[in-house]
Structure 1
């Protein structure tokens, strides 16, 4: 969005203009919530005689809980899926570690290992980095407020600065018990707090940004929710810290590893998820007693080393490739030619050396991050040619 209020917005913005609209016809009066609790109680005590035997004296006066409770944040990370940004929640354990690191870090950068220590999060930078494979950094966000349009399948988190403004307005509305509060943001968005359960965001008609998928949806309000517990988010279970088995998965010919043309990293993620699911369903008691740990799967990628700029193979192939049927020829160059490379004495040795070097590097890095590991180590082939 032009003013930084979109899901990826990170620009600073002025504070919103907050106005109060009272749509009810109730007469004007001094609200009780503007009288301090001490004044309310003292008024009742003055009307009661010291010798009275009313039920007031028989009831223990316990302090009422505060009306406003701070929102509990949950940390999310952004993943690119089918050319769209999808925000996924960390496990509760990882989210609590990130929140604790933020509260104790001060001004220094703190790195927190998450998702079985396969990723590192730089808390101040709000970025998530892969440890064992090449992958671009992804944005991390401390989320408290969420929105969802009519055609959205899941709630999306607001930027942190936007959420802070919403939380301040919500706190004022709850404390004063004054709803129908209207927040006007400089970029034109309007959020109305109708009541604690109904909060809506309205788009200006002339606004054109990444939140709007079609002109007909510009005036449709978006549902706003406070806190991750009020949205339908599938928060993953945390992974056991103990690892009993380390498995290196080596892909076959080509960069695609299944019929959906996914990478070895994506396929290995499925193996890991299936393994955790089986452990939870068949060895739950052993896990609870600490006798059974999990299996860690790590991908071994040799295709990029063979087809990189260092060998010049792709450049030579591209020079002799015909321009017709580009998709088929691209698939052939990336996949079927690996068969001929493996039968070539020169490139076969390159493949073998790359696999061995990658396995040794990953094993050394894994032992550095898990020095207590004493389990078994296996190598598994996956996809075509294995």
Structure 2
């Protein structure tokens, strides 16, 4: 039985905050590091316990590259635009994304239950299950408490094990279940308690990645992410003890082209419907060369940069 299963309120370190991530066609929730999760949960409790201090409206997370808006529950990049990388991209790894505060998790892969379902389970647990679990004497294999809805049933066993019985993947939010699971053990609290030491080193070196032509077609964020990942692999291989020095090199994309309209409306008006993809490709790449060499747009480009 969990050490805090019978507590009225889940400890801060047992609650885990996560952000939504879609990569390779798979949707999932990725947990914040322990340090970020503790700060988010502390801000959440102070906010909903009557504190109106504006300092808690936004919390920096993910190595100080993003911030969470506590009002809208959105994780927003600080140094670049939060929209999709490009019209051709389906990946949103470095874009604005939703965040969730999770108390109840399914134990198969420790992903959070749907928020509304978690609220129902937490209410049933505090109101009915805790008093019954405290009064358990002897051994029994019958549930001490049940809660049943149209699509699922929750069972609290005498040993503290809790099961979610369902025929649908709906209570699991965006998670796709495999194998026709019908009975899933769930947990009150994450499997790894959050710790303030669980955080990346502070940024000690900054590298600005500036794009050239073709930003409208691709994205500097994507290329910057690849540079970041490649450098991390090289550093881990050649300098395995670098992380112990407490230093970190961060790459920040400089996207100055997207904020410039230039004469894009004129190009759209004169672009005929035939061979539209090819003409759009030319407009979004090679035409940039004409912009960069033109004294008419040079001032706008320098101001944006």
Once residues 353 and 67 of structure 1 are traced to their aligned partners in structure 2, the CA distance between those partners, rounded to angstroms, is: 57
User: Secondary structure, in 3 states, of the residue corresponding to 1:267?
Assistant: helix
Listed as ranges, the matches of 1:1-386 within 5 Å are 68=6, 70=10, 72-81=14-23, 85-105=27-47, 106-107=49-50, 108=52, 109=54, 110=56, 111-135=58-82, 137-147=96-106, 156-170=111-125, 171-172=129-130, 174-177=133-136, 179=143, 181-185=145-149, 188-193=150-155, 195=157, 199-203=163-167, 221=182, 223=184, 225-226=186-187, 227-229=189-191, 238-241=199-202, 243-255=203-215, 261=218, 263-279=219-235, 282-283=238-239, 285=241, 287-290=243-246, 293-306=247-260, 308=261, 311=262, 313-355=263-305
Tell me the alpha carbon deviations over residues 234-293 of structure 1, each in whole angstroms, 9 at most, x when there is no partner: xxx63201x332111111212268xxx5x2223323333444455555545454354xx1
- Deviation at residue 194 of structure 1 after TM alignment: 6.7
Tell me the equivalent position of 1:10: none
Q: 1: distance between equivalents of 2:212 and 2:298? A: 13
Q: 1:174/1:87 Cα in 2 relative to 1: closer, same or farther (>3 Å)?
A: same
Deviations 1:190-211 (A, max 9, x none): 133275556234257xx9xx87
Task: Please report the RMSD computed on the Cα atoms of aligned residues, expressed in angstroms.
Answer: 3.9
Structure 2 gaps of 5+ residues are: 84-95, 137-141, 193-197
In 2, Cα distance between equivalents of 1:181 and 1:123: 34
Aligned length: 263
Residue 212 to residue 156, structure 1, CA distance change in 2 (3 Å): closer
Q: Against the structure 1 CA distance between its residues 252 and 222, is the aligned structure 2 distance closer, same or farther, given a 3 Å change threshold?
A: farther
Unaligned runs of 5+ in 1: 1-64, 231-236, 356-386
Give the secondary structure class of the aligned counterpart of 1:228.
Answer: coil
Most deviating of 195-204 and 323-332:
195-204
**1:327–1:128 CA distance, 2 compared to 1 (3 A):** same
Q: How does the TM-score come out when normalised to structure 2?
A: 0.68
Stretch of structure 1 that moved more, 125-134 or 246-255: 125-134
